[in-house]
């Protein structure tokens, strides 16, 4: 396993981050525990979750599954860098969501109970809250850090200017500020190359891409459909929208002799701005298969081919659209 620093911090995390969104809804608790044990055995020390995962409002089912796994002992908690999130609705009350100081405090305490831990390594804002001032947000986060309940603060789904706002306000308060940003990023969705990645590089944030396989679309979906695999209505629409690109992509992967999912992850790992993509295995086989990407090194010509198939926005803004 390869390890890198999380952004500008001294914290070292694995190049692949174990996403747990499927734990509960798609993967049983027993199988989720097996996957987490195997991830540790393989050297994956970076686990990502959120208080809303499990999709039963207020229950934090996925966090509970991880908490019961931590409770088994064997230094499980000590070996894991655990990241969770705050923002989503955890109740029916007016203050049971978003980023008010009150909700941040209550949500953090609840996540700590579910995860059965004394501290959260990386506490991420799941979305920007335009209605709450940054001074209030940082006051709440600063208190959690002071109490030892949170170590690092990250963001998710922020625009580049939100990252600038957050870190400039943090700087004025003599705080470390954001250390990571979790964004949608894959060969099909490259918008963050315009401003989010440049902002992260400027402020020293690690970029943690979610949906690196575009919900499975980049995992050889056309061949799987030919073999009888069923897909959701949403996936079918995406496939039809991008079918010419996907046909070229899967042919390219066949040409170089690598699985499409491995190529998609290897393309991302080649980017120095990326800390590590979030993989979301539903099964043990999927987890083990993802590790092949770590040994796949695409050359410059292969990267050019991928850029031809999936052209990005043209680089960072404003040069991407102006002179």
How far apart CA 253 and CA 158 sit, in angstroms, is 32
Calculate the CA 285 to chain-centre distance. Answer: 20
Overall size of the chain counted in residues: 323
Which tokens sit at 72? 């088994």
Which tokens sit at 208? 């943690």
End-to-end Cα separation, the chain, in angstroms? 42
Q: Give φ, ψ of 17 to 5 degrees.
A: -105, 130
Going by DSSP bridges, is the β-strand pair 81-86/120-125 parallel, antiparallel, or unpaired?
Answer: parallel
Q: How many C-beta neighbours within 10 Å does residue 106 have? A: 17
CA distances from residue 302 to 132, 254, 264, 307 in whole angstroms, order as listed: 45, 13, 12, 9
Which tokens sit at 49? 């979750």
> From the candidates 3, 53, 123, 249, which is the catalytic residue?
53
Residue 321 appears among annotated catalytic residues: no
The string over 42-78, giving b where at least 16 C-beta atoms fall within 10 Å of a residue's C-beta and e elsewhere, is bebbbbbbbbbbbeeeebbbbbbbbbebbeeeeebbe
Active site positions, annotated: 53
């Amino acid at each position: 396993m390869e390890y890198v620093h999380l952004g500008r911090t001294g914290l070292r995390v694995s190049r692949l981050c174990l996403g747990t969104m499927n734990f509960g809804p798609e993967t049983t608790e027993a199988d989720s525990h097996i996957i987490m044990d195997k991830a540790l055995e393989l050297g994956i020390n970076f686990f990502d979750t959120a208080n809303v995962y499990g999709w039963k409002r207020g229950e934090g089912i996925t966090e509970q599954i991880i908490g019961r796994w931590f409770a088994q002992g064997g230094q499980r908690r000590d070996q894991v860098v655990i990241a969770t999130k705050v923002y989503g609705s955890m109740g029916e009350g007016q203050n049971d969501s978003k980023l008010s100081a009150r909700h941040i405090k209550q949500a953090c305490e609840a996540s700590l109970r579910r995860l059965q831990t004394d501290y959260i390594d990386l506490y991420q804002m799941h979305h920007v809250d335009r209605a709450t001032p940054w001074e209030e947000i940082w006051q709440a986060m600063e208190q959690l850090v002071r109490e030892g309940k949170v170590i690092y603060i990250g963001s998710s789904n922020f625009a580049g200017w939100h990252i600038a706002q957050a870190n400039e306000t943090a700087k004025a308060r003599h705080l470390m500020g954001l250390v990571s940003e979790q964004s949608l990023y894959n060969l099909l969705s490259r918008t963050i190359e315009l401003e989010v990645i440049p902002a992260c590089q400027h402020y020293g944030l690690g970029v943690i891409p979610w949906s690196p396989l575009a919900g499975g679309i980049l995992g050889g979906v056309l061949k799987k459909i030919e073999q009888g695999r069923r897909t959701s209505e949403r996936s079918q629409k995406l496939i039809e929208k991008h079918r010419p690109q996907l046909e070229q992509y899967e042919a390219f992967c066949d040409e170089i002799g690598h699985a499409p999912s491995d190529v998609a992850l290897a393309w991302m790992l080649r980017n120095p701005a990326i800390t590590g993509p979030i993989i979301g295995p539903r099964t043990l086989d999927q987890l083990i298969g993802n590790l092949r990407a770590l040994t796949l090194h695409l050359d410059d010509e292969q990267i050019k081919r991928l850029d031809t198939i999936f052209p990005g926005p043209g680089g960072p803004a404003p040069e991407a659209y102006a002179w």
